[in-house]
Amino acid sequence: MAEQTNKNTSEEMDLGQLFQLIGRGFQKLFNFIGSILSGIFHAIITFLLFLQKNFVVLAITVIVGAVGGFLADSYKTPMYISKMVVEPNFNSVQQLYNNIDFYNDLAMARDSLTLSRALEISVSEATTIKKVFVDSYSDENQKIKLFDEFIKELDTTTVKALDYQSYLENFNSMDARFHQISIVSTDNSIAKKTQNAIVSSISANDYFKLQKEINDENLDLQEKIYNQQLSEIDSLQQLYKRVLEKEADKPMQGTSINLAENGEAQNKELALVQERDILKDRLVVLNLERANKSAILNVISDFPARGVKVKGFWRSYKFVLPILFLGMVLFVLLLVQLNTFLKKHSV
């Protein structure tokens, strides 16, 4: 009995020590979190006191920066942006992006001579171009249409393993149907002058010209086949019509047989009418494809005669200069504060 009592007492002591250890662990954790929060609070208060002490200097700095920014903006040469929407055909989109990157590199490097030759403008006009870039121009509806066209080219097994979300994850700017070319310049009319050079730089490519010629030949051949089939259908319709007329002129010898023959002829004529409608639809699709691929680079929307002035508060001097001046003054004041702190602790 005494041994059982000693055993229970020992277990109670072990549990008590365990709870004490857990309690001390939580206490240390809470103290640690509290010290962090206290340190953050102390840092915030110290910073607020620093701002309060130097409020006048900081306020003057912001005002001076704002005034300087407004003056700088008023004397700054205005920038204009012009945009053109194009549709590349025959896999020419990569060439388009390469050409635009080339123009932009020349503009950034201020190689006005080479840029003027590439864009067929004067050197003085080329100096006004500051940036040239291109990006995809597509919305959700266009992406859905592209996905539908994409899966039509795949086999059944691949289509089952592919969904729209996976297609979007691998979608990039090159896959878009339309692309927007933008030119930023100090001359609001220069973009329009470069349009022909940009388009012809793609259209003059021998590979794309060959692709277009082959595509035109294929379309002509397909149209010829469709028209020939329509002509044959017209001939068959005339033949069935004459057969029905001759059957109608014959004396009634076997009513059931004549009705069956007439019904078969009518069914054949109806099938021809349906086939004719299908061929007409195919010709419509063919004409649409011919229109969409009439050029290597379709211009959907031309460069405007006058560009739009580039606006933006976040990139203006009246926003940048106050931030810049404020950062410089804060840095100097903090250095002075640090120097004072070090002197106090070095004594």
The burial of 193, by beta-carbon neighbours within 10 Å (0-12 exposed, 13-18 middle, 19 or more buried), is given as middle
Q: Say if residue 100 is in the same domain as residue 221.
A: no
Q: What is the pLDDT of residue 237?
A: 76
CA dist 7 → 1, 14, 15, 21 (Å): 10, 11, 12, 21
Q: What is the pLDDT of residue 167?
A: 60
CA dist 163 → 140, 143, 155, 172 (Å): 15, 13, 14, 16
The pTM score is 0.67
In this structure, which amino acid lies at residue 240?
Y
Q: Say if residue 58 is in the same domain as residue 90.
A: no
CB atoms within 10 A of CB 347: 4
CA–CA separation, 124 and 112 (whole Å): 8
Q: Say if residue 82 is in the same domain as residue 151.
A: yes
Q: Say if residue 195 is in the same domain as residue 309.
A: yes
pLDDT single digits (tens) 91-144: 899 999 999 999 999 999 999 999 999 999 999 999 999 999 999 876 566 666
Q: Say if residue 88 is in the same domain as residue 25.
A: no
Q: What is the pLDDT of residue 145?
A: 66
Q: Say if residue 147 is in the same domain as residue 28.
A: no
Q: pLDDT band at residue 215, thresholds of 50, 70 and 90?
A: very high
Q: Say if residue 58 is in the same domain as residue 128.
A: no
Q: pLDDT band at residue 279, thresholds of 50, 70 and 90?
A: confident
pLDDT single digits (tens) 45-93: 988 888 888 889 889 999 998 888 888 877 788 899 999 999 999 989 9
Q: What is the pLDDT of residue 257?
A: 47
CB atoms within 10 A of CB 107: 23
Q: Say if residue 186 is in the same domain as residue 321.
A: no
Q: pLDDT band at residue 324, thresholds of 50, 70 and 90?
A: very high
Q: What is the mean pLDDT of the chain?
A: 82
**What pairs with residue 134 in β-bridges?**
181
**CB–CB of 201/103 below 8 Å?**
no
Q: Say if residue 153 is in the same domain as residue 266.
A: no
Q: Say if residue 228 is in the same domain as residue 272.
A: yes
Mean pLDDT in residue range 300-304: 93
CA dist 134 → 22, 112, 168 (Å): 63, 20, 20
Domain count, the chain: 3
Q: Say if residue 278 is in the same domain as residue 173.
A: no
Domain, as residue range, for 136? 78-207+299-314
Residue 178: closest CA among 104, 308, 89, 95: 89
CA–CA separation, 319 and 72 (whole Å): 11
Q: Enumerate residues 6+ apart whose C-beta is below 8 A from 137.
A: 85, 176, 178, 179, 180
Q: In this structure, is the dihedral angle defined by the CA atoms of residues 185, 188, 192 and 194, taken in order, positive or negative?
A: negative
Q: What is the pLDDT of residue 219?
A: 92
Q: Say if residue 104 is in the same domain as residue 248.
A: no
Written as six digits, the tokens of 209 are: 């010209």
pLDDT single digits (tens) 4-42: 555 555 555 566 677 777 877 888 888 888 889 888 988
Residue 53: closest CA among 253, 340, 249, 262: 340
